[in-house]
Amino acid sequence: METVRYNYIVIEGNIGAGKTTLASMIAREFNAKLILERFADNPFLPKFYDDPARYSFPLELSFLADRYRQLKDELVEQDLFMSFTVADYYFMKSLVFSSKTLEKDEFSLYRQIFYIIYSSLPKPDLYVYLHVPPERLLRNIAARGREYEQSITAEYLSGIQDSYFNFFRQNPENRYLVLDTSNIDFVASGEDYRKVKEVIFGETVKPGINLFNF
């Protein structure tokens, strides 16, 4: 394996794509600083899944504030004993999900606030996006058993996926490595995990969307 060429990597993906698992595996192996989203502490999330119309705006605002606060704190602190930083989300996630949950006028205001804050955060050297079909995502979601996620539909997941790619296309200056992991299991298979690592750390990623199928 080559020397890691990145200082800050983000593992992104849809709900149930395995981003937290992969980020944790990489951090453990490479002695990297790990940043995990604190979504489990958000009191609006279970309420949102029960009543989206009522709780979407407070949910998205609370996520926006918490993600900014966490990333600002974590990225400012340099750890000399860690090789690099890897996170299981980035701030853009706020815009991706709010575009599917907010009404048009709410999203217009939200988008303005997002880009004001977004410009003040350090940008990742590489965005890794785990691309998984909605049908498999639903199986993954069912398997992990979070009660408030069980009402998520394939249509909702497809919309989130489209929103990610809309963001990628609208911000082409970033490096996006899109990994189609439909036919591999990097958790159960050490060989599959090795393949994923080789692509992330061995491939030259140019600005824009870079697709890789296993």
Are 101 and 59 in contact by the 8 Å Cβ rule? The answer is: yes
Given 79, 88, 185, 192, the catalytic residue = 88
Question: Would you state the structure tokens that stand for residue 85, as one six-digit string?
Answer: 């930083």
Residue 27 CA to chain centroid, in angstroms?
16
Is the CA virtual torsion 10, 39, 46, 145 positive or negative?
Answer: positive
Return the amino acid letter for 103: E
Active-site residue 88, yes or no? Answer: yes
Look at residue 209 and give its three-state secondary structure: strand
DSSP assignments along 105-158, one per residue: HHHHHHHHHHHHHHTTSPPPSEEEEEE--HHHHHHHHHHHT-GGGTT--HHHHH
d(CA 30, CA 84): 8
Catalytic residues: 88
